[in-house]
Amino acid sequence: MLTIFYILLLIDFGRCSDHQIFDTKNVAVGQNVTLNCSRDHRLLLTELFWIRLVSQSFPEVLGSTMSHDSSITQKTHHITTKQEPGTFVLHINRAQLSDTAVYYCIKESQLTMTFLKGTFLRVKGPDPGITGVTQDFLSNPVHPGDPVTLQCSVLSNSENRTCTEDDRVYWYRAKPDESHPSLIYSQGHNSYDCEWSPEAPSQQKCVYSFSRNVSLSDTGTYYCAVATCGEILFGNGTKLDIKVPVVHHWDLQKTNTVVFLLCVALSINLIVIAFLIYTIKEKNKTSAAASLQTNTETTREEQQIQQRDEDSLAYAAPTFTKRNTRKAERRNARATEKICIYSDVRAFECGKTDA
């Protein structure tokens, strides 16, 4: 059927007839809708079509019939097309929000197409009464680790609200390197503050907040989405740019000066330590040399004292002989030899020098 309709679009359209009608119809969700298109049963080679046009979509053929009487009924989902006396009827059972579109009744006769009737059908759901969703801009620069609070203000009018469903807020983040926004937070029913306008008691403002400590990966545009009564309303978005702190020229120069002074102080410390090590080593060498010299002098003095002691030694070799004895004794005894007795005499003199 769709192929036939596309072929028919290539055929010349007839001029507008006097019976061409275009109207607008508003209905609520769940209501039944009936659209009528006049039909002349005397025309044998005439065919009627109901088509639907939705923005950014191809035309959709909902049903067709011959102009003469027929009992054929066509049904697509919850939409039905059929003949009734003198009309070609399109019936929508329990209209949905997606049924909002432009509906055309077209007549095709002898390769000529004529638009007989057009109807813009607007299906309205429960009215949440929301008049606007706004987000605040961040005025101060943000750095990694800073706490950031994003706010979403929902303005509503209680007089226009026809549904009792509570609002629910979702936070999305869109990044340049991502093709689709990502859901990062879902806010509950009780996590908001509301206040009434003193000038208009029916005007209400509810503020939803989202806080976190940011890092460089949190850069992007944040949107709040309010879901209520079958609709989703988006805020204008808050752009979050996270800047890395930049070291100024003065701070860099000051840092270089401090580093230079620390290097100088370290160098001086190393020189002082090296000097102290050298001094200690030299002092140890001097002490060792003085000790060695003292030992040498002590040894020399001891040798000199020993030499003086040896020079003071007097050796005596006395000779003892026996006196003459009587002859009887000389006969009984052998001749005696000389006996030498040596004695060691050490002489100590105080306060005198050797002669």
DSSP-derived secondary structure letter, 267: H
Look at residue 36 in the predicted model and tell me its pLDDT: 92
Q: Does 290 reside within a domain?
A: no
Q: Are 47 and 28 in contact (CB under 8 A)?
A: no
CB count within 10 Å of CB 353 equals 6
Look at residue 105 in the predicted model and tell me its pLDDT: 92
- Do 140 and 233 lie in one domain? The reply is yes
Look at residue 309 in the predicted model and tell me its pLDDT: 58
C-alpha pair distances (Å), 199 with each of 31, 128, 161, 167, 205: 37, 21, 19, 24, 13
- For residues 135 and 153, give the distance between their C-alpha atoms in angstroms, rounded to a whole number: 6
Consecutive sets of 10 residues in the chain, 355 residues long: mean pLDDT of each? 43 47 87 90 84 88 87 88 91 90 89 87 81 84 88 83 78 86 77 74 83 88 86 88 70 80 91 89 78 71 67 54 52 50 53 45
Look at residue 42 in the predicted model and tell me its pLDDT: 81
Q: Measured in whole angstroms, how far is the alpha carbon of residue 209 from the centre of its chain?
A: 20
CB count within 10 Å of CB 279 equals 10
Look at residue 230 in the predicted model and tell me its pLDDT: 73
- Please identify which residue in the block is written with the tokens 């005007």: 203
Report the CATH number that the domain containing residue 178 is assigned in CATH: 2.60.40.10
Q: Does 134 reside within a domain?
A: yes
Look at residue 79 in the predicted model and tell me its pLDDT: 92
What's the pLDDT tens digit per position in 229-282?
A: 777 888 999 998 888 776 555 666 778 888 889 999 999 989 999 888 988 888
Per this entry, what is the length of the chain?
355
- Do 117 and 140 lie in one domain? The reply is no
Q: Does 148 reside within a domain?
A: yes
Look at residue 33 in the predicted model and tell me its pLDDT: 93
| Residue where a domain stops, chosen among 186, 220, 240 | 240
Look at residue 102 in the predicted model and tell me its pLDDT: 94
- For residues 302 and 286, give the distance between their C-alpha atoms in angstroms, rounded to a whole number: 24
Phi, psi of 163 (to 5 degrees): -120, 155
Contacts of 256 (CB under 8 A, 6+ apart): none
Look at residue 91 in the predicted model and tell me its pLDDT: 94
Structure tokens at 214: 């940011």
Q: Which residues of 146-161 are buried (b: 16+ CB within 10 A; e: fewer)?
A: eebebbbbbebbeeeb
- Do 118 and 220 lie in one domain? The reply is no
Q: Is the dihedral of CA 168, 174, 178, 180 positive or negative?
A: positive
Q: Which residues of 27-60 are buried (b: 16+ CB within 10 A; e: fewer)?
A: beeeeebebebebeeeeeebbbbbbbeeeeeebb
| Residue where a domain stops, chosen among 62, 90, 124 | 124
Q: Is the pTM of this model over 0.75?
A: no
- How far from each other are the two terminal CA atoms of the chain, in whole angstroms? 160
- Do 103 and 175 lie in one domain? The reply is no
Look at residue 284 in the predicted model and tell me its pLDDT: 82
The alpha carbons of the chain give a radius of gyration, in whole angstroms, of 63
Q: Does 269 reside within a domain?
A: no
- Do 151 and 174 lie in one domain? The reply is yes
C-alpha pair distances (Å), 4 with each of 7, 49, 64, 111, 332: 5, 11, 11, 12, 186
Structure tokens at 345: 């005499």
Structure tokens at 261: 């002074």
Q: Does 150 reside within a domain?
A: yes
- For residues 308 and 295, give the distance between their C-alpha atoms in angstroms, rounded to a whole number: 20
- Do 27 and 115 lie in one domain? The reply is yes
Look at residue 249 in the predicted model and tell me its pLDDT: 57
- The closest of 160, 95, 90 to 122, measured between CA atoms, is 95
- Do 174 and 234 lie in one domain? The reply is yes
| DSSP strand pairing (112-124 vs 21-28) | parallel
Contacts of 311 (CB under 8 A, 6+ apart): 354
Q: Does 3 reside within a domain?
A: no
- Do 119 and 36 lie in one domain? The reply is yes
Domain enclosing residue 50, as ranges? 20-124
Beta pairing partners, 148: 212
| Residue where a domain stops, chosen among 203, 223, 240 | 240
- Do 38 and 58 lie in one domain? The reply is yes
Look at residue 188 in the predicted model and tell me its pLDDT: 65
Look at residue 320 in the predicted model and tell me its pLDDT: 52
What's the pLDDT tens digit per position in 147-174?
A: 998 989 988 887 777 777 777 889 999 9
Look at residue 216 in the predicted model and tell me its pLDDT: 86
State how many domains the chain has.
2
- Do 142 and 228 lie in one domain? The reply is yes
Phi, psi of 30 (to 5 degrees): 95, -10
- Do 69 and 155 lie in one domain? The reply is no
